[in-house]
């Protein structure tokens, strides 16, 4: 049975089933109050890894988590991301990896999360218009200054991961991945081989046709939901996988976190492993 925890960068041990804060509404009103309650309930349920980003509400999501959870429990790791510029009157949101912009976003993230160091900072996207060494070099300088604890990447290929590892110590990769969406299988395998945390976003893929039937069948056998089965499959896929399911509902949050205790047989896992989207 795979461990329920993982040590990110060999230093920060977290429970492998985390929480993605992207879906939490941040506008003033009842929905925001629910968001605060969801974040607090996640910690109560033992979640020790929460994922956010500057892009999620252009800082509002980070501020929401700070309001809900600061001062943070010692074992809680709040990971954030930089590298996307907000939309303006004359352009849409865009990847932006110039060093001065990344430095500014890191400083803003420190302020919004009310911390002196971002324990895990991931580059949201690699900017193809800026040399990778410049982007990662700027973040490495901030790491040396003590503003960043560990560095990770998001939505990268195997070759990009290899190139990045020549510049920085990459401790995490956040790519889209699920039982039915395995486009980045090779990236996960590379992370597995290197002991790098792999944080799949959108870990529960909407299933259809025969896949839905098979997932439902395994769920019925286990007395679980299809979403719980999908998360349990990910946890069994590799010990470096740290799913970060997101929700704005306490009920769904409790359902998701319970998936960490689900135990399927090797035969059930193999039946699910044969599935693909379609």
What residues are labeled active site? 56
Q: Any idea of the CA torsion for 28, 110, 56, 81, to the nearest 10 degrees?
A: -170
Which tokens hold the place of 65? 């988590």
Phi and psi torsions of 244, nearest 5°: -130, 65
Q: Single out the residue of 123, 113, 181 nearest to residue 152, CA to CA.
A: 123
Q: Which helix (H) or strand (E) holds 262?
A: none
Is the distance from CB of 180 to CB of 197 less than 8 angstroms?
no
CA distances from 73 to 69, 77, 213 (A): 8, 9, 41
CA–CA gap between residue 247 and residue 233 (Å, rounded): 19
Task: Please count the other Cβ atoms lying within 10 Å of the Cβ belonging to residue 22.
Answer: 18
95 pairs with which residues across the strands?
84
Give, to the nearest 10 degrees, the angle between helix 158-165 and helix 132-144.
Answer: 50
* Cβ neighbours of residue 186 closer than 8 Å, sequence gap 6 or more: 158
3-state SS assignment for residue 24:
coil
* DSSP-assigned letter for residue 155: S
- Please report, for the chain, how many H helices and E strands are present, in that order: 10, 11
Phi and psi torsions of 172, nearest 5°: -150, 150
């Amino acid at each position: 049975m795979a461990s329920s925890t993982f040590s990110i960068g060999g230093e920060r041990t977290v429970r492998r089933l985390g929480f993605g804060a992207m879906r939490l509404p941040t506008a003033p009103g009842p929905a925001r109050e629910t968001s605060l309650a969801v974040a607090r309930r996640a910690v109560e349920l033992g979640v020790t890894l929460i994922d956010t980003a500057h892009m999620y509400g252009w800082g509002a999501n980070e501020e929401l988590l700070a309001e809900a959870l600061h001062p943070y429990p010692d074992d809680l790791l709040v990971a954030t991301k930089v590298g996307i510029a907000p939309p303006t009157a004359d352009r849409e949101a865009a990847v932006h990896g110039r060093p001065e912009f990344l430095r500014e976003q890191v400083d803003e993230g420190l302020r919004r999360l009310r911390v002196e160091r971002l324990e895990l900072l991931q580059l949201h996207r690699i900017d193809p218009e800026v040399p990778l060494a410049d982007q990662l070099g700027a973040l490495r300088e901030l790491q040396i200054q003590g503003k960043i604890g560990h560095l990770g990447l998001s939505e990268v290929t195997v070759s990009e991961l290899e190139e990045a590892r020549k510049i920085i110590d990459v401790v995490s990769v956040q790519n889209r991945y699920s039982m039915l969406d395995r486009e980045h299988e090779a990236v996960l395998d590379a992370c597995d081989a290197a002991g790098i945390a792999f944080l799949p976003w959108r870990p529960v893929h909407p299933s259809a046709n025969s896949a839905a039937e098979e997932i439902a069948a395994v769920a019925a056998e286990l007395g679980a939901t299809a979403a719980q089965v999908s998360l349990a499959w990910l946890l069994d896929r590799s010990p470096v996988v740290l799913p970060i399911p997101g929700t704005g509902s306490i009920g769904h949050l409790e359902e998701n976190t319970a998936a960490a205790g689900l135990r399927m047989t090797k035969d059930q896992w193999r039946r699910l492993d044969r599935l693909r989207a379609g």
